[in-house]
Structure formats: C-alpha cells, structure tokens
Chain A
Amino acid sequence: MLGYTAKRILMLFPVLLGISMVTFLIMCFTPGDPAEITLRALLDTETPPKEAVLELREEMGLNAPIHVRYIRWLDRVLHGDLGYSFQTHRSTLDEIMLALPITIKLAIVSMLLSILIAIPIGTISAIKQHSLVDNIGLIGSLLTVSIPDFFIAILLIIIFSLHFDIFPVAGYGGVEYWFLPALTLAISMAPITTRLTRTSMLEVLRQDYIRTARGKGLAERMIIRRHSLKNALIPVITYIGLQFGWLFGGTVIIETIFALPGIGRLLVESIYTGDFLVTQGCVLFIAAIFVFINLVVDVSYIFIDPRIRYERET
C-alpha cells in the first residue's frame, strides 16, 4: 500500500505539469493584453497611460515568445517561487495562504453538514422504500438540486438573518459567520449524495449475504449498521471525495455572496484582473489538492472494504 501511495504521489508531478501547461496556453490565447488589463483594474480607468503599459509589459516579460515565458515560469516554480501579484505586489504564495484557510474551513464545515443531511435521509429512504421519508427525500432532493446555490444563499439570508436575526448576513469572523455559507453549500451538495446513498443501500440490501444475515437471525439494526451501510458507502465516499475537491475553487459564487475572500474568489479575480501569476499559482494549488483528495479517497477504501488491496502490479 505504501508503494501504491508513493506511486500516486509521484504521479502528481506530471499531472500538475500538464495542468499548468494547459492553463498557461489558455491564458495566452485569451483576448486582451494582461499589462493593460492589470493597469485598468489597478488604476480604475479604461485608458491607463501608455508608458505605464509598456513598462509593465516589460516587467511581466510579455515581450518574449510563449514557450520562453512558460519555461521561465516553470524554472522559477521549481525553485519555489510562484511569482507575485501585479495587483497587490504580495507574493502569489502569500495571496494563496491568505485565501486557502478560509476555503478549507468552509469546505470542511459544508462537507460535514452535507453528510449529516444526506446519509441519514438516504439510508432511511432505502430501508423504508416508498415511505413518507423516502418521498419527502425525493421531493427535497429534486427541489434543492434544481435551485442554483446563489438563490439558496439569498433565501437562507432572508430567513436566518433578516427574519430571525440569528446569523449575520455576510463577512468573516467568528463561527457564526460560517453557518449560512456552509449550509448553502451543504444544501446544494446533499441531494446527489442522498440519492446515491439510497440507490447504493437498496442494492446492498438485496444481496445474498444480507439475506443470510437476516436468516441467521441477526438484529435488523446490526444488519444495517455493520453489513449494509458500510458496503453501501463505498461509491458514496468516492462521490463525497470528488465533491470535496470541487469545493476548492468551485465555491466562488458563495464566497462572493458571503464576502469570504477564499481561493475561488482569488482565482476568478486574478483572471479578471490579468494577474496571471496568481491564476497559475491558484490552479496549481487547487489541482494538487484535488489530486491529493482523490488519493485519500482511494486509500480510505482499504479501511472500509478489506477486500480492496492495492498490490504492486507485476
């Protein structure tokens, strides 16, 4: 297993290289001169002084051909230098380190909330198929999966902040600020997890070994807890892992609505303001996190399902 993990970690490098190359190319083919876009955002004017644009082009190294620029960038990254933001003159690493903790907290809290909503509902829906809980779960899932997350966010703000005045509308501070953004994300992530849990659970409950377990007179609770749920959760965990990876960078709308300066917002703002070193840095980080989470998910199967072993292929 150690060998497998090591191999997966080594695989990270070609993956990141490929991703960085693709991002670099996309950025190069996007219309507009990054120096001009940067100054437009920095100075808040449509027409930045031409002298300043020329100087910044030089500083950004835009006068060199694409492949030279990419190699220069790569060289610096390999030496641990991700460059700096042209908007704030802070290093890309500083920018990411300001934003990442916010997104990590948001991702963890919303993931937990989502699991808390999805797995009980999914399990009960499977055990008591066509019951009231199952039907409510179905309707709820359909509804929440169809409503865009920004709308859910606004509804939650109206209910919890304006009407009941329990949580603050937006901002970043104590724990009370995390509840609404996390709940919004949880509500929009939960439906698919719920349905997946239900389907997977139904499938497991029809297996022979469950019938055997029942036949030998095992208590129903025991069957559900030890024999069914654990097996049914394997696909669910894969999906939750993917969702968790998506949360890094995928939460930009929620981060914008709740005024949380997380990594999704950093990425999107860097694209809008021509801050390409920050864009590249964010993409690298997000990709690395995504790959890492996938690895953790794959490794976690071993703990859930002892049949799965990652043997060295010979």
Chain B
Amino acid sequence: MMKIKLNTIGTWIALVTILGVIAFSGCMDKEGTNTEKIEVEKNSGAPQELTIGSPWAPKAINPYSGGSYILQRNCIVETLVSIDYKGKLAPGLAESWEVSEDGLAWTFHLRKSVKFHDDTPFNVDAMKSSLERAMEEAAVFKSIPIASVETKDDHTLLITTKEPFAPLPAYLTKGESAPISSSSFDENGKFLEPIGTGPFKFESWKPKEEIRLVKNDDYWGTKPKLDKVIYKGIPEAITRIMMSKAGELNIAQILPPDAVKGLESADNIDVSTKSIGRVRLIGFNMKREPFNELKVRKAVNYAIDRDALVKYVLEGVGTPARCLFPPEFYWANTDLNGYTYDPEKARNLLEEAGWIDTDDDGVLDKNGKPLEITLLTYTERAALPPTAEMIQSQLAEVGIKSELKVLKCDAASEMKKAGEFDMFLVGRGLLFIPDPDSIMMEDYHSIHGVDGFLWYGYHNERVNELIDKGRVTMDIEERKGIYDEVQKLVLEDAPIVYLNYYVNIDAVDSSVHGYQMHPNEYSFHLENVYIE
C-alpha cells in the first residue's frame, strides 16, 4: 500500500505559496484593469462604456422562453407600440395605427427604413412571422382573441380580432411580440441569438451573469451615444450598493429605501427616484363580517395614516396613494382625493355601524362580539410586513383589534383563496399590460372577482358595465372617461384601501446623464444615456 507522508509544515508552505500567488496575481489583475480604465477616461472621445447592475439576472436570451424582458429593457429589441413616461401608448415600430368602425380590424402602419442588426430590412413579413411565433409560444399572448394576422402591403399589417378588444395595441408593447430577424434562428428553427432592431446590438452573454451590448450605428431613432453596455445580474441589493461605491457599476438598479441615506452622502453618486406602476393596497374580504358593511370599510380607510406609512416604513421614499393609479400616470383620475387620515371620523363611522366599546377593554364590540380581524400579508416584498405592523397599531387606535398573518406568498394566496382573511395586504402591479383593462377586469369586475386577483367579493353592476364598455370602446379619450368613473365608484364603495405607490430607487454615477427608470420598467431607453 502506498504510504503518504504528511509532511505538514512542507504542505503548509506550499499552500501558502500557491495562495499567495493567487492573491498577488489578483491584485495585479485588478490594478491592470484600473490603469486601463483611467487612461480611457482621460482620453476624451474614447469609447463610452456603461455598466448596469440589476437584480434581474439574464436567465435566457430567447424572447419566447423567458428572455423577452432582458432584451427589451436593454434596448436590443423593440415592439410595434411603445410606452411613454406617463404609461400611455406611443408609436414604436408602428408609426400609427387605426381600428375599423366595428372594432375588429386593426391596421398598423410600420416605420420605413428600419433595419435589423444583421442589415436585413424590417418589413411586414418579418413582423408577421415574429408575431405569429409569439402567439404560438409566449404565455402572455394566450388570452387575447386574435383571429388573424395579415399583410396588406410592404409596410401595413392587418390584425383582426374575434371580438372588439381595445387593449390590443397595449399587448403589442410586450417584448415577446418584438420582431427579430430570421437569422436569429438556424435552419432547423433553433434559436441562436437575438437580432432585433433596437439602438443596441447583442454581443455576448453569460447565463445568469451578464449581457454585453454594442451600439447600433444604423438605428432609426435617437442615435445611441454609448459604445458598449454591460448589464450584470447582481441579486443582492447590498452588493449592488457596494459595487456602485467601489465604482464597479455606473448604475445600480432597484435599491431598498434604507440605502438612500448612505448613498446620498457619497459625492459621486446620485440617487434617482421614480414612481413605478405598482401600488401597495389592502383588499377587504367583503363576503363576511365586519367588512361586508360599507361604513366599516370606510372607517378603516380613514383610520390609516398614509403619510406616516411613507415616512416610517418607506423612509420617506414613496407617495401616499389617493386612488388606483399614481398621479403622474395618464390613466389616473387626478380629481379624486381619496381618504385622508381622520381617526375621529373613523370612530364615528364605526359607531354608526353599531360597533361600540361597551366593556371598556379598548376593543369595539357589537352584540357581545369584539371587533377582531385578520390582516394577511406575505414576506416576499420587504416593505409589506412592517406596513402591516404599523396598520395594526393604527387600527388599534380606533378600537379594531387585528391579528397579523405574515406568510410566504404562496401560502398567503392559498389562505386568500379559502377566504380565511379579513384584510389582505399586497403589492399590485398596475400596468403589466399597459392598459387599464387587465387590472380592471381582474380586480374590479365581478365575473373575474371570484377567481381574480383579490378574491374579495366586490360586486357593483355599474362598475361591471363600465369595464365591459371600456373593453370595446376604441377612442382613447372616451376610455379615459370610463376608467375615471370606475376609479371614482370604486373609491366610494371602498372595497380596497390604497396605501402608497412604489418608488424605484437607482444609484447613478454622477458622470452618467440621461438615465431614467421607466414607470413600467419595460425599457431603460439607453439611447438617451451618455457619460460626461
């Protein structure tokens, strides 16, 4: 048998030497790149390179299986319809579009002289095949009633729907529908790499780590100024903050509110905050006591101090909510003032509803039953549990005793589906499809209320009618009027407490200009970004 001598001291010396060399070469490497960077910066007119760190790691680059968000956010692909900074639809690869009288036939006029990154022209055939592939393969298109996609001439696309469907253009903002060149696939139809029309071209990627982009000099719109972009997936917020401080990132995206103070003191980092289309809200279980009664729901709306929630839970980074949409959004009904903090009014309303503290224990009661409710929420969104705790103490002020149930998201939604809650606190995305129809159908229309998002039993015939009407009304101004009224009626019925809107926080290197997070995070619009 082989006998190995454990010459310990010798082994240690060897190990120390090896690791020393590793560490030393580490320093050398780092310094090497540093000097390189400095030289690049000194030399003006040299390539502009931007590094972005985001929690959304690039998992895939195939737009039909999980890659569409990363491609669209990084401006590699573009869609027929785009979204402006107020969440309203705007021309994209389609210069304009119109719909027939009966609301079934949509004509999209495609932009001319657009080229794919492989220099092939973007035309109606390319658009048609990409759209058909998206309808076949992408989950988001499974629920829309498209009857056919036809080509009229080289730059006119005709889409017919089975029924009038006003949100159609909004669906055409989803990255899965973005045209990609046929050379993105090999002859067997296997996906190779994304070749789109956007201001940046795909260069290379490492799965779950980074994507590298180079500028597209032939871009049809605003010419990109950055030469290279490196987009990195950094899952941990603390790491993004420290990378930003160490100068390893130009933009550190999606940071927690408690990061703001620490970053504001750094000289070369600007903190960029921007409202995004997401609202924190509480849905009442209207199917059972006590929230089957309007007065009690209103009382809770008055009992909650929304300013205090923003100040203490969100460290001041957030906007108290008045209605469903943030005020800077096109679809917001800005005439509504919502509910303001008024505990006196809350107590009066509860008294009118018959809830009085007869036994002086601080908790209201009615017919011998105390006013005790369950407040359900989940841990995946960090601000929700502390929000729930604060609401618990605010409700206690007006005599409502609440039990908190803080679970994992999936366990919480099982409880919600079983109806075992009185109040459900959630973060709700508003413009997944950038059109009010989807959120209205899912959360406020009673036919979907049963298995919709909130599961809370809201039913108002007038609201149903309006939402149905909004779906088949093609004129945007008229639709705005319809959804304004829905927002007003919902506020009066108070099936929901709107708490506050999400604010996205990014740390941006002071030398970076022109960067702004998009309100529904669909594109970073890197063509506007430059380093100076």
Chain B residues with CB under 8 A of A88: 59-60, 65-66, 207
- Tell which of B243-251, B328-336, B355-363 binds the partner: B243-251
B342: interface (CB < 8 Å): no
Q: Which residues of chain A in 26-64 are interfacial with respect to chain B, using CB atoms and an 8 Å cutoff?
A: 30-32, 37, 39, 42-52, 55-56
- Contacts A56-B139, A87-B66; is A47 near B452 (CB within 8 Å)? yes
A281 to chain B, nearest CB (A): 16
Chain A residues with CB under 8 A of B23: 179
Complex contact B1–A306 (CB within 8 A): yes
Complex Cα–Cα for A195 and B6 (A): 20
Chain B residues with CB under 8 A of A301: none
Residue of B nearest to A99 (CB): B208
Complex contact A43–B246 (CB within 8 A): no
A304: interface (CB < 8 Å): yes
B192: interface (CB < 8 Å): no
A174: interface (CB < 8 Å): yes
Complex contact A116–B15 (CB within 8 A): yes
The one of A32, A48, A230 in contact with B139, judged by C-beta atoms closer than 8 angstroms, is: A48
The one of A87, A166, A229 in contact with B27, judged by C-beta atoms closer than 8 angstroms, is: A166
Complex Cα–Cα for A52 and B234 (A): 29
Chain A residues with CB under 8 A of B27: 166-167, 176
Question: Which of B62, B139, B409 has most chain A Cβ within 10 Å?
Answer: B139
Q: Which residues of chain B in 353-409 are interfacial with respect to chain A, using CB atoms and an 8 Å cutoff?
A: 408-409
Question: Which of A52, A88, A230 has most chain B Cβ within 10 Å?
Answer: A88
Complex contact B26–A175 (CB within 8 A): yes
Chain B residues with CB under 8 A of A46: 426, 428-429, 453
Chain B residues with CB under 8 A of A51: 142-143
Complex Cα–Cα for A170 and B8 (A): 33
Complex contact A42–B139 (CB within 8 A): yes
B283 to chain A, nearest CB (A): 12
- Contacts A52-B140, A229-B8; is A175 near B22 (CB within 8 Å)? yes
Complex contact B25–A175 (CB within 8 A): yes
B268: interface (CB < 8 Å): no
Number of interface residues of B (CB under 8 A): 61
Complex contact A162–B245 (CB within 8 A): yes
Complex Cα–Cα for A153 and B114 (A): 48
- Contacts A31-B414, A45-B429, A233-B6; is A261 near B57 (CB within 8 Å)? yes
- Contacts A45-B432, A98-B207; is A119 near B239 (CB within 8 Å)? no
Complex contact A168–B30 (CB within 8 A): yes
Contact flags B30-54 to A (C-beta < 8 A → 1, else 0): 1000000000000000000000000
B7: interface (CB < 8 Å): yes
Chain A residues with CB under 8 A of B62: 89
A157: interface (CB < 8 Å): yes
The one of B60, B233, B243, B245 in contact with A90, judged by C-beta atoms closer than 8 angstroms, is: B60
Complex contact B235–A259 (CB within 8 A): yes
A302: interface (CB < 8 Å): yes
Residue of B nearest to A304 (CB): B6
Question: Which of A113, A119, A170 has most chain B Cβ within 10 Å?
Answer: A170
Complex contact A225–B9 (CB within 8 A): yes
A235: interface (CB < 8 Å): no
Question: Which of A45, A52, A120, A176 has most chain B Cβ within 10 Å?
Answer: A176
Q: Which residues of chain B in 135-157 are interfacial with respect to chain A, using CB atoms and an 8 Å cutoff?
A: 139-140, 142-143
Complex contact A259–B233 (CB within 8 A): yes
A290: interface (CB < 8 Å): no
Chain A residues with CB under 8 A of B15: 112, 115-116
B442: interface (CB < 8 Å): yes
Residue of B nearest to A55 (CB): B142
Complex contact A257–B65 (CB within 8 A): no
B242: interface (CB < 8 Å): yes
Chain B residues with CB under 8 A of A120: 12
Complex contact B1–A116 (CB within 8 A): no
Chain A residues with CB under 8 A of B12: 116, 119-120
Complex Cα–Cα for A192 and B1 (A): 32
Residue of A nearest to B208 (CB): A261
- Contacts A30-B410, A31-B410, A44-B69; is A166 near B246 (CB within 8 Å)? no
Chain B residues with CB under 8 A of A42: 66, 139
Complex Cα–Cα for A302 and B4 (A): 10
The one of B25, B66, B209 in contact with A89, judged by C-beta atoms closer than 8 angstroms, is: B66
Complex contact A167–B453 (CB within 8 A): no
Chain B residues with CB under 8 A of A171: 209, 232, 234, 243, 248
A75: interface (CB < 8 Å): no
Complex contact A43–B140 (CB within 8 A): yes
Chain A residues with CB under 8 A of B6: 225, 229-230, 233, 304
Complex contact B234–A39 (CB within 8 A): no
Contact flags B231-263 to A (C-beta < 8 A → 1, else 0): 011111011001101101000000000000000
Chain A residues with CB under 8 A of B246: 161-162, 165, 168-169
Residue of B nearest to A154 (CB): B238
Chain B residues with CB under 8 A of A225: 6-9
B288 to chain A, nearest CB (A): 22
Chain B residues with CB under 8 A of A44: 69, 429, 432
A158: interface (CB < 8 Å): yes
Is the contact region of chain A dominated by helix, strand, or loop, or is it mixed? Answer: helix
Complex contact A167–B26 (CB within 8 A): yes
The one of B142, B248, B409 in contact with A49, judged by C-beta atoms closer than 8 angstroms, is: B142
B489: interface (CB < 8 Å): no
Residue of A nearest to B59 (CB): A88
A111 to chain B, nearest CB (A): 11
A198: interface (CB < 8 Å): no
Question: Which of A37, A48, A49, A87 has most chain B Cβ within 10 Å?
Answer: A49
The one of A89, A167, A229 in contact with B30, judged by C-beta atoms closer than 8 angstroms, is: A167
B231 to chain A, nearest CB (A): 13
Question: Which of B59, B206, B408, B429 has most chain A Cβ within 10 Å?
Answer: B59
Complex contact A176–B30 (CB within 8 A): yes
Chain B residues with CB under 8 A of A306: 1, 3
A3 to chain B, nearest CB (A): 15
Contact flags B255-279 to A (C-beta < 8 A → 1, else 0): 0000000000000000000000000
B69 to chain A, nearest CB (A): 6
Residue of A nearest to B428 (CB): A46
B19: interface (CB < 8 Å): yes
Contact flags B451-462 to A (C-beta < 8 A → 1, else 0): 111000000000
Chain B residues with CB under 8 A of A176: 25-27, 29-30
- Contacts A32-B414, A169-B239; is A261 near B22 (CB within 8 Å)? no
Chain A residues with CB under 8 A of B410: 30-32, 37
Complex contact A259–B234 (CB within 8 A): yes
B181: interface (CB < 8 Å): no
Chain A residues with CB under 8 A of B238: 154, 257
A129: interface (CB < 8 Å): no
A168 to chain B, nearest CB (A): 6
- Contacts A32-B413, A259-B235; is A47 near B8 (CB within 8 Å)? no
Complex Cα–Cα for A45 and B140 (A): 10
7 smallest A-B Cβ distances: which pairs?
A: A32-B410, A176-B26, A52-B139, A49-B143, A261-B208, A89-B65, A51-B142
Given A44-B429, A89-B65, A171-B232, 13 further pairs, Cβ under 8 A? A31-B414, A32-B410, A32-B411, A45-B432, A47-B438, A116-B16, A123-B8, A166-B27, A168-B30, A171-B209, A171-B243, A176-B30, A259-B234
30 intermolecular pairs with C-beta atoms under 8 Å apart: A30-B410, A31-B411, A32-B414, A39-B139, A43-B139, A43-B432, A45-B429, A47-B438, A49-B143, A50-B143, A52-B140, A52-B143, A87-B66, A98-B208, A115-B15, A119-B8, A119-B12, A154-B242, A162-B246, A168-B248, A169-B248, A170-B248, A171-B209, A171-B232, A172-B206, A256-B236, A261-B209, A265-B208, A302-B1, A306-B3
